[in-house]
Amino acid sequence: MIVAITGASGVNFAVKLLEALKNHNIETDLIISENAKDVIELETDFAIDRIQNLATRCHSENDLTAPPSSGSYKFESMIIIPCSMKTLSAIAHGFADTLITRAADVSLKEKRQLILAVRESPFNAIHLENMLKLAKLGVIIAPPIPSYYIKPKSIEELNENIVGRILDLVGIDSNIKRWGEF
């Protein structure tokens, strides 16, 4: 599985996702955008290498020779979490100038699962048009939106539920509270 982190707010979701994938022994290729590195520093206490250590392999977004840039490299899904509006736009327009946007382009051309945990509010018409364009191509637009019906006792629990719903999309069961089961 390819996991990419871009410079939108909410890297904590990516960290939780990587931890879960590691616990499930899923091999991961991690790409962190240069802008994401700045946002991680501004928003969190995570050291970049602590996040990178959660992945099986890490690549620079500038390394267009890395395996995820080729359709011959086998991966089942790509998850961009959080996904900025800039990266969304690049993917929607086939502008594959970084390893993240190239791997997403590969996902589209090879018809592999692509999940975008887009994060912005409010959305403008350009954002919405880009999301609609990609949704019509089968991309899953999965913004990290909380489910308050679980009656969370903490932000941590709320975040775990958000990541659990993304794990559901890639067929990994997590012990999240599900409607009808509580």
Helix (H) or strand (E) holding 45: none
Pairing of β 140-141 and β 29-32: unpaired
Q: Does 69 bind ligand FMN (CB under 6 A)?
A: no
Cα separation, 165 vs 32, in Å, equals 22
User: Which of 22, 26, 35, 150 forms a contact with ligand FMN (CB under 6 A)?
Assistant: 35
Stretch that binds ligand FMN, among 18-26, 36-44, 70-78, 131-139 (CB under 6 A): 36-44
CB 112 within 8 A of CB 77: yes
CB 50 within 8 A of CB 22: no
Cα separation, 149 vs 178, in Å, equals 9
Stretch that binds ligand FMN, among 35-43, 67-75, 137-145, 169-177 (CB under 6 A): 35-43
Q: Does 28 bind ligand FMN (CB under 6 A)?
A: no
Q: How many helices (H) and strands (E) does the chain have?
A: 7, 6
User: Which of 12, 69, 84, 130 forms a contact with ligand FMN (CB under 6 A)?
Assistant: 84
Q: Does 85 bind ligand FMN (CB under 6 A)?
A: yes
Question: Which lies closer to ligand FMN via its Cβ, residue 33 or residue 130?
Answer: 33
Question: Which lies closer to ligand FMN via its Cβ, residue 10 or residue 164?
Answer: 10
Q: Does 33 bind ligand FMN (CB under 6 A)?
A: yes
Q: Does 144 bind ligand FMN (CB under 6 A)?
A: no
DSSP, residue by residue, 94-122: T---SHHHHHHHHHHHTT-EEEEEE--SS
Residues lying near ligand FMN in the complex (CB under 6 A): 6-9, 33, 35-36, 38-39, 42-43, 84-87, 119-120
